[in-house]
């Protein structure tokens, strides 16, 4: 008898691939380098909060004052 592997995802949910425009991909890459997070983490934050707010979160104090 074979057993099925249980998924961590709830039933009915699906992974939807996103097509990110080139300019947005560059902004995500810059933010991920500054924040030392993965591109996927920055993309999740950007979807939740907006890319402009995410970029502001990871600016250094000197850059904000200038």
| H/E stretch holding 43 | helix 39-49
27: number of CA atoms within 13 Å, CB side? 15
Distance CA 16, CA 18 (A): 6
pLDDT at 65 over 70: no
pLDDT-based confidence at 63, cuts 50/70/90?
low
pLDDT in tens, 24-59: 899 989 989 988 889 988 888 888 888 888 888 877
12: number of CA atoms within 13 Å, CB side? 0
Domain extents in the chain? 22-65
pTM summary value: 0.57
């Amino acid at each position: 008898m074979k057993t099925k592997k249980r998924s961590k995802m709830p039933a009915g949910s699906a992974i939807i691939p996103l097509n990110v425009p080139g300019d947005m991909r560059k902004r995500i890459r810059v933010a991920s380098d500054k924040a030392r997070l993965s591109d996927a983490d920055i993309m999740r934050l950007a979807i939740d909060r907006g890319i402009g707010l995410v970029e502001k979160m990871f600016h250094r104090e000197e850059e904000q004052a200038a």
